């Protein structure tokens, strides 16, 4: 039976509820984001990224023993096989770090003896390996593109501090570690967003976890999704370099019907709660470093976009300035998003495989009919 055009289609699947999940709840009308029952603001202020990883995978915050156990496993698993370092080194320095990450994560699957073991226990172990190794890969990409060899992970540091350490060999101060850890928490999960949905669709065919995460990374790279944080940085750099008035810049773009990256959201119709938190972090960092330029530019952009389009900042808007003030280069912004979101992606894959059913929607055919090759 064919489906009649227009009658059943929801462009972009807007408003479609595709499945039930226990991982994350979002109320876009009031700007609420909740991981397994905990408000994002509470988690960002009062937990750690490692605790949030456990929460997403198990539905509960860890006990002291469980925390130590997971943290130990993550720390012991951070080193990546030499073949992955060689692969990263062989990529052209002009390649997008997200493209290199996508390739490296796919290749990690070749090195995992459990790649095709679909048991829940093996899948949990693979999730730990991916979460532990993606930061090592991202840092290695950053160093390779600067002509430097990778730094070995530091076993005494948290995931947040270890990542910053692997970039330049300096152990970050407590404030940088806390802010970066909060950024990882804020990006860890977001319901059935495009990359998570892509990952679940792949997982639902009973493909392996590395394939599903590789597909999710591919989806995250797009500028309408995670790639927006890099575009925000490029926009802010362009405004700074040209010395243009921020309001005139935005008005010009809107007049040309161009999008302002970091604004708007499919689900949030008010400010994204992650943006609210990040704005506070940006204020703190700006005051500490005596550089108010990022905050001032961002605040003007936010005012003009609210007034002209009734559009609010999303997570990618303020994270770009926060990362810039932490000294992180723009090319790493989306890969950092990925190494955090792998926690949520893998939680969704585990959930998908616990009672899996193939995800297979239909398309309403609108092409020509009744054609014949001859006669
Ligand atoms: C996120 C996003 C893709 C959601 O889009 P959506 O729900 O599919 O909404 P649409 O793309 O259909 O946009 C609806 C309207 O708002 C406008 N709009 C949405 N986001 C806009 C933005 N950032 N700048 C300018 N206009 C925007 C569209 O042009 C469209 O206007 P129109 O109806 O006059 O054509 C969109 O807001 C966007 O492109 N934002 C910029 C990229 C970004 O920051 N992505 C990260 C999301 S976390």
pLDDT level of residue 6 (50, 70, 90 thresholds): low
CA-nearest residue for atom 1, ligand 1, is: 265
CA-nearest residue for atom 8, ligand 1, is: 266
- The closest alpha carbon to 172, from 164, 182, 183, 181, belongs to 164
The conformation of residue 39, written as its DSSP 8-state character, comes to: E
Contacts of 144 (CB under 8 A, 6+ apart): 88, 89, 91, 93, 150
Mutate-to-test residue for ligand 1 from 264, 273, 309, 340, highest number of ligand atoms within 8 A of CB: 264
Centre of ligand 1 to C-alpha 285, Å, is 29
Q: How many CB atoms lie within 10 A of CB 323?
A: 23
Helical H segments across the chain, by residue range = 40-46, 49-58, 64-76, 82-90, 97-108, 120-145, 159-168, 174-187, 194-203, 209-220, 228-242, 246-255, 273-289, 293-309, 315-325, 333-353
Q: Which residue matches tokens 């009734």?
A: 310
Active-site position among 190, 225, 316, 348: 316
The pLDDT, as a whole number, for residue 7 is 60
The pLDDT, as a whole number, for residue 9 is 74
- By three-state DSSP, how is residue 254 classified? helix
Distance (Å) of CA 40 to CA 85, 158, 278: 35, 20, 12
Q: What is the DSSP string of 297-317?
A: HHHHHHHHHHHHH---B-HHH
Burial (0-12, 13-18, 19+ Cβ within 10 Å), 82: exposed
Cα–Cα distance between 256 and 79 in angstroms, integer? Answer: 48
Centre of ligand 1 to C-alpha 13, Å, is 15
Angle between helices 209-220 and 333-353 (to 10 degrees): 140
Is 265 catalytic? The answer is: yes
Average pLDDT, the chain: 96
Q: At residue 13, does pLDDT exceed 80?
A: yes
Contact 235, 263 (CB under 8 A): no
Task: Determine the atom of ligand 1 nearest the C-alpha atom of 253.
Answer: 25
Burial (0-12, 13-18, 19+ Cβ within 10 Å), 38: middle
The model's pLDDT over 59-98, given as tens digits with 9 standing for 90+, comes to 999 999 999 999 999 999 999 999 999 999 999 999 999 9
The pLDDT, as a whole number, for residue 1 is 62
Contact 189, 341 (CB under 8 A): yes
The pLDDT, as a whole number, for residue 5 is 67
Centre of ligand 1 to C-alpha 263, Å, is 7
The model's pLDDT over 318-370, given as tens digits with 9 standing for 90+, comes to 999 999 999 999 999 999 999 999 999 999 999 999 999 999 999 999 999 99
pLDDT level of residue 313 (50, 70, 90 thresholds): very high
The pLDDT, as a whole number, for residue 286 is 96
The pLDDT, as a whole number, for residue 69 is 98
The model's pLDDT over 236-275, given as tens digits with 9 standing for 90+, comes to 999 999 888 999 999 999 999 999 999 999 999 998 999 9
Maximum C-alpha span of the chain: 79
The pLDDT, as a whole number, for residue 90 is 97
Is 168 catalytic? The answer is: no
First to last CA, the chain: 27
The model's pLDDT over 154-170, given as tens digits with 9 standing for 90+, comes to 999 999 999 999 999 99
The pLDDT, as a whole number, for residue 244 is 87
Where b means 16+ CB within 10 Å and e means fewer, 172-183 reads: beeebbbbbbbb
- Pocket lining for ligand 1, CB < 6 angstroms: 12, 224-225, 228, 259-266, 309, 311, 314-316
Cα–Cα distance between 288 and 280 in angstroms, integer? Answer: 12
The pLDDT, as a whole number, for residue 243 is 87
Centre of ligand 1 to C-alpha 3, Å, is 29
Q: How many CB atoms lie within 10 A of CB 333?
A: 25
Contact 363, 8 (CB under 8 A): no
Catalogue all structural domains in the chain, each as residue range(s) with its CATH number.
Answer: 24-224+330-353 (1.10.580.10), 228-325 (1.10.230.10)
Task: Determine the atom of ligand 1 nearest the C-alpha atom of 14.
Answer: 7
Q: How many CB atoms lie within 10 A of CB 297?
A: 17
């Amino acid at each position: 039976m064919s489906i009649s055009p227009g009658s059943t289609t929801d462009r972009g699947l807007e408003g479609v509820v595709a499945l039930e999940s226990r991982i994350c709840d979002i109320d876009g009308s009031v700007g609420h984001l909740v991981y397994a029952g905990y408000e994002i603001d509470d988690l960002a202020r009062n937990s750690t990224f490692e605790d949030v990883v456990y929460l997403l995978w198990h539905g509960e915050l860890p006990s002291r023993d469980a925390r130590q156990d997971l943290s130990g496993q993550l720390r012991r698993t951070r080193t990546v096989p030499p073949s992955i370092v060689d692969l990263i080194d062989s990529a052209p320095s002009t390649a997008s770090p997200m493209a290199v990450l996508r390739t490296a994560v796919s290749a990690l699957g070749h090195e995992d003896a459990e790649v095709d073991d679909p048991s829940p226990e093996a899948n949990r172990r693979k999730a730990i390996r991916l979460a532990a190794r993606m930061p090592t890969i991202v840092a290695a990409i950053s160093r390779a593109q600067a002509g430097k060899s990778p730094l070995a992970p530091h076993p005494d540091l948290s995931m947040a501090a270890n990542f910053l350490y692997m970039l330049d060999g300096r152990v970050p101060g407590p404030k940088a570690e806390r802010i970066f850890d909060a950024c990882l928490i804020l990006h860890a999960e977001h319901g059935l967003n495009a990359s998570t949905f892509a990952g679940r669709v792949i997982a639902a065919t009973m493909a392996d976890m590395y394939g599903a995460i590789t597909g999710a990374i591919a989806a995250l790279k797009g500028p309408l999704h995670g790639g927006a944080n890099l575009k925000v940085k490029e926009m802010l750099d362009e405004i700074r370099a040209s010395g243009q008035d921020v309001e005139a810049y935005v008005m010009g773009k809107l007049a040309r019907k161009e999008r302002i990256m970091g604004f708007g959201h499919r689900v949030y119709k008010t400010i994204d709660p992650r943006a609210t938190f990040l704005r506070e972090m940006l204020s703190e960092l700006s005051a500490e470093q005596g550089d108010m330029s990022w905050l001032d530019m961002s605040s003007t952009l936010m005012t003009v976009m609210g007034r002209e389009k009734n559009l609010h900042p999303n997570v990618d808007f303020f994270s770009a300035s926060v990362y810039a003030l932490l000294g992180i280069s723009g090319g790493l912004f989306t890969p950092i998003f990925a190494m955090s979101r792998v926690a949520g992606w893998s939680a969704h894959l585990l959930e998908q495989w616990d009672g899996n059913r193939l995800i297979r929607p239909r398309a309403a055919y609108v092409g020509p009919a009744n054609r014949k090759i001859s006669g």
